[in-house]
Structure 1
Amino acid sequence: MSIHIVLYQPEIPANTGNIARTCLATNATLHLIHPLGFSTDDKMLKRAGLDYWYHVDVQHHDSIEELYQKYDEKHFYYIENFGTTNYNEVDFSDTSHDWFFVFGRETSGIPKDLLVGKEERCLRIPMAQSDQVRSLNLSNTVAIIAYDVLKQQNFPNMH
Structure 2
Amino acid sequence: MVKLWFFIREATKLLAFNVILVEPEIPQNTGNIIRLCANVGATLHLVKPLGFELTDSALRRASLDYSDLTNVIIHDSLEEFLGTTSIDRIFATSSQANTSYHCVQYQDGDSIIFGSESVGLPSTLLDSLPTQNCISIPMMPANRSLNLSNAVAVTIYEMWRQLEFRGCRPFATKTAQYFS
Could you tell me the TM-score, scaled by structure 1's length? 0.91
- Corresponding position of 1:81: 95
Matches within 5 A, 1:104-119: 104-119=115-130
Q: Deviations over 1:107-157 (max 9, x none)?
A: 110111222221511100001x232x2111110111111110111111111
Displacement over 4 Å in runs of 4+ = none
- Asked if the contact 1:83–1:119 (Cα under 8 Å) also holds between the matched residues in 2, the reply is no
Go from structure 1 to structure 2 and tell me whether the alpha carbon gap of 1:72 and 1:84 turns closer, same or farther (over 3 Å shift). Answer: farther
For structure 2, list consecutive stretches of 5 or more residues without a partner in the other structure.
1-14, 170-180
For structure 1, list consecutive stretches of 5 or more residues without a partner in the other structure.
none
Could you tell me the TM-score, scaled by structure 2's length? 0.81
Offset, 1:74: 5.6
Which of residues 132, 148, 153 in structure 1 aligns to 2:163? Answer: 153
- Asked if the contact 2:105–2:162 (Cα under 8 Å) also holds between the matched residues in 1, the reply is yes
Offset, 1:70: 2.9
Between structure 1 and structure 2, the one with the greater Rg is: 2
More helix by share: 1
- 2:49 pairs with 1:35: yes
**Aligned partners of 2:145, 2:27: CA distance in 1, in Å?**
18
Calculate percent identity across the aligned residue pairs. 39
Alignment length, in residue pairs?
A: 154
- Corresponding position of 2:146: 136
Letter in 1 for 2:147: N
